Amino acid sequence: MSPVESSGHHAGRAALVALVGVVVLFGVLGLITLTLKDRNSPDLQLGDQTFKAGRAEALAERIAETGPRLYADVSGRKDRDMILQHQGDDPKSGWSAFLAAPIDKPRDCTWEWQADERLFRAKCDPDLVAPADGSGLPLFEVTVIDGRVDVDLNAQARAAGG
């Protein structure tokens, strides 16, 4: 007789251990999913929270010469195209940023600057107008830090989430 006796119960125990491991794994993944499902991007901290537009002086000069700047949303969501506007002589103040299209209009219906009227008109509906600073539209927070313009794209989401 062999000092090591074979047993037929090892396969059953191994299958039971594997099954328990799979159940625990799915339980953990389920808890993680429930925890993260209502979080928005500001809570997850995926990348920068601000759009770094550039040097305030250069941007203010360019906007004075050619009009407000249109920036396309490259986040993948494609729902936050924005217009950056500057008014006044001081590059440290007078900044505003807002959604580039009127609410409930398609993405290609952007606000177009009417320099002679000092207002914006919707590309798809010339009767739809917005003031030069975008007031009344969905705005993004703009700050000038160390001579550079930063647009906070997620301030509203952070405020709504907590």
> Which CATH number goes with the domain that contains 126?
2.102.10.10
Residues 66 and 111 occupy one common structural domain: yes
80: enclosing H helix or E strand: none
* Helix intervals (H) in 37-79: 41-44, 56-66
Nearest to 122 by CA among 110, 137, 139: 110
- In terms of phi and psi (left: phi > 0; alpha: psi -120 to 50; beta: otherwise), the region of 53 is alpha
Q: What is the pLDDT along the chain (162 residues), one digit of tens a residue?
A: 556 666 666 667 777 888 888 888 888 887 777 776 655 444 444 456 788 999 999 999 999 999 999 999 867 677 789 999 999 999 999 999 999 999 999 999 999 999 999 999 999 999 999 999 999 999 999 999 999 999 998 877 666 665
Residues 30 and 65 occupy one common structural domain: no
Residues 6 or more apart whose Cβ sits within 8 Å of residue 67 = 113, 115
Domain assignment present for 1: no
Global pTM?
A: 0.68
